[in-house]
Amino acid sequence: YLIEIKPTTEQITKINQTIGTCRYVYNLYLSKNKEMYEKEGNFITGYDFSKWLNNVHTKEHDQWIKEVSSKAVKQAIMNGEKAF
Written as one string, the DSSP assignment of 33-54 is HHHHHHHHS----HHHHHHHII
Asked if residue 29 belongs to a domain, the reply is: yes
DSSP classification of residue 74? H
How far apart CA 15 and CA 67 sit, in angstroms, is 12
pTM: 0.85
In terms of residue numbers, what domain contains 48?
9-83
Q: Which of 18, 25, 17 lies closest to 49, judged by CA?
A: 25
Asked if residue 19 belongs to a domain, the reply is: yes
Asked if residue 4 belongs to a domain, the reply is: no
User: How many distinct structural domains can be found in the chain?
Assistant: 1
Asked if residue 1 belongs to a domain, the reply is: no
- Given a contact cutoff of 8 angstroms between Cβ atoms, the answer to whether 66 and 58 are in contact is yes
> What pLDDT digit, counting tens, does each position of 21-78 carry?
999 999 999 999 999 999 988 888 999 999 989 888 888 888 888 889 889 999 999 9
Asked if residue 2 belongs to a domain, the reply is: no
